Amino acid sequence: MKGNVIVGQSGGPTAVINSSLAGVYRTAIDRGAKKVYGMRFGIQGLLDEQYVDLSKHIKNDLDVEILKRTPSAFLGTCRYKLPDIHENQDIYVKIFEILDKLNIECFIYIGGNDSMDTIKKLSDYAILMGKSQKFVGVPKTIDNDLALTDHTPGYGSAAKYIATSTKEVIRDGLGFSYKKKLVTIIEIMGRNAGWLTGASALSRGEDCDGPDLIYLPEVPFEIDRFVDRVRKLLEKKDVIVVAISEGIRTAEGKYISEFSAATDYVDAFGHKQLTGSASYLANVINQQVGCKARAVEFSTLQRSAAHLASRVDVNEAFMVGGAAVKAADEGDTGRMVVIDRVSDDPYQSATGIYDVHKIANGEKLVPREWINKEGTYVTEEFIDYVRPLIQGDSPCVMVGGIPRHLYMSSGRGKKGE
């Protein structure tokens, strides 16, 4: 490689998004990049010339290892959709001015569907204008809803956190059960896809019954039938645990969270928060069944718990970051690296590469046949698919009793810092 590399992160954070960043950095250096720049806050920050020289922040091999174990976007992310080229060419002119100035050869973007749209537009523009830069995307999302890749980096660690925490919540309930009935409703992320909520089933094993019911957004939710099921279950056992996606909704498309006006606030991206479904349903159980009910939200913890990351996930995230640099350096552009599952048992995976024009904006849901007929649990096929992704630990470097993270001194980065 003769020129430089620039890398950005986009969309929601994950526990391993920085492992991909570490993979990009390490491979870029190995392949002879003079400089590896990091965009602060993705393409939006780049437009304001917010970028850093990563070698000033990743100073040695220990820093690389700590970066791999640091959750949430080290560089910061954005949710910024580029306009179509014909709508506003000025933005493209500006971006390429910056890239030319920094002598960028490879542009790597770590993100979900929206980020692949950015890769697509920038590579199209480069080809159109005869620019030499190569643009390659690295998949990332806890939601696992990207098409064409077997799974997305970030999903395995979130699934491991959810499986472990669900098991701990189930144990917590068991201790209380004497002459008391208790229903616990766990709310898990996932607006449209139930991959995360389904992972709660991984808690089931020789030493744990797992949740009693699991509801994904892929199947319409009926409050009355839910109450009936809980009532029937309570005739047989005292302690019930239910896992629901935040995105469950009625056949008419009304989110369960909308039934409760309790949370009116919006998230960092201005989306109305879907939280509160579990809390609402706990109230319903309490009032209609007359039994003690409580809600547990895994909230933001499930996407940032690097202390419980899956080793498979950390390694794959690193691998796809490196593969993206290799692909761009070898001339690929307008593409996204994907993970192909080579074998289930023993689990093996390898990277592949796809045209982003085929990938962007398609949302991969849990197949209906991986959910039972009643829509109240996932099947063994689902579990067999996810189980390999949560294997292995990635022990943090503990300092003062808590995990050490790589830290970029505060502020948004200065021009060319």
The single residue among 82, 163, 230, 327 that binds a copy of itself, judged by CB under 8 A, is: 163
User: Least distance (Å) from a copy of itself to the CB of residue 66?
Assistant: 9
How is residue 330 written in tokens? 């070898």
Determine contact, residues 21/57, Cβ cutoff 8 Å: no
* Nearer CB in complex with a copy of itself: 14/149: 14
Determine contact, residues 146/359, Cβ cutoff 8 Å: yes
Does position 341 interact with a copy of itself (CB under 8 A)? The reply is no
Which 168-187 residues touch a copy of itself, going by CB under 8 A? 168-169, 171-180, 182, 184
Does position 316 interact with a copy of itself (CB under 8 A)? The reply is no
Does position 331 interact with a copy of itself (CB under 8 A)? The reply is no
Does position 9 interact with a copy of itself (CB under 8 A)? The reply is yes
Which residue is listed with tokens 């094993």? 205
The single residue among 28, 136, 284, 328 that binds a copy of itself, judged by CB under 8 A, is: 284
Determine contact, residues 113/362, Cβ cutoff 8 Å: yes
How is residue 138 written in tokens? 């690295």
Q: Any long-range contacts for 126-134 (C-beta under 8 Å, 24+ apart)?
A: 126/96, 126/333, 127/333, 127/334, 128/85, 129/96, 131/96, 132/105, 133/96, 133/99, 133/104, 133/105, 133/106, 133/107, 133/333, 134/105, 134/106, 134/107, 134/327, 134/328, 134/329, 134/331, 134/332, 134/333
The single residue among 249, 303, 326, 364 that binds a copy of itself, judged by CB under 8 A, is: 303
CA–CA distance from 65 to each of 19, 49, 155, 166 (Å)?
8, 28, 20, 29
Which 187-206 residues touch a copy of itself, going by CB under 8 A? 202-203, 205-206
Does position 299 interact with a copy of itself (CB under 8 A)? The reply is yes
> How much of the chain is in helix, strand and coil states, percent to nearest 5?
40, 20, 40
Does position 293 interact with a copy of itself (CB under 8 A)? The reply is yes
User: Least distance (Å) from a copy of itself to the CB of residue 126?
Assistant: 25
d(CA 92, CA 84): 10
Which 56-85 residues touch a copy of itself, going by CB under 8 A? 70-74, 76-78
DSSP 158-212: HHHHHHHHHHHHHHHHHTT-TT--EEEEEEE--SS--HHHHGGGGG-BTTB---S
> How many positions of this chain bind a copy of itself (CB under 8 A)?
100
Does position 387 interact with a copy of itself (CB under 8 A)? The reply is yes
Does position 307 interact with a copy of itself (CB under 8 A)? The reply is yes
* Nearer CB in complex with a copy of itself: 182/356: 182
Does position 275 interact with a copy of itself (CB under 8 A)? The reply is yes
User: Least distance (Å) from a copy of itself to the CB of residue 254?
Assistant: 12
Among candidate residues 59, 132, 49, the one with its CA nearest the CA of residue 94: 49
* Nearer CB in complex with a copy of itself: 5/142: 142
Q: Which stretch binds a copy of itself (CB under 8 A): 21-29, 139-147, 277-285, 358-366?
A: 277-285
Determine contact, residues 226/281, Cβ cutoff 8 Å: yes
Does position 16 interact with a copy of itself (CB under 8 A)? The reply is no
Does position 235 interact with a copy of itself (CB under 8 A)? The reply is no
* Nearer CB in complex with a copy of itself: 251/402: 402
Does position 296 interact with a copy of itself (CB under 8 A)? The reply is yes
How is residue 49 written in tokens? 């010339």
Are β-strands 134-139 and 104-111 bridged in parallel, bridged antiparallel, or unpaired? parallel
φ, ψ dihedrals at 19, nearest 5° = -70, -35
The set of catalytic residues is 143
Does position 249 interact with a copy of itself (CB under 8 A)? The reply is no
Task: Enumerate residues 6+ apart whose C-beta is below 8 A from 26.
Answer: 64, 318, 322
Which 108-147 residues touch a copy of itself, going by CB under 8 A? none
The single residue among 164, 192, 351, 379 that binds a copy of itself, judged by CB under 8 A, is: 164
* Nearer CB in complex with a copy of itself: 103/288: 288
Among candidate residues 353, 322, 321, the one with its CA nearest the CA of residue 110: 321
Does position 348 interact with a copy of itself (CB under 8 A)? The reply is no
Q: Which stretch binds a copy of itself (CB under 8 A): 27-35, 159-167, 190-198, 357-365?
A: 159-167
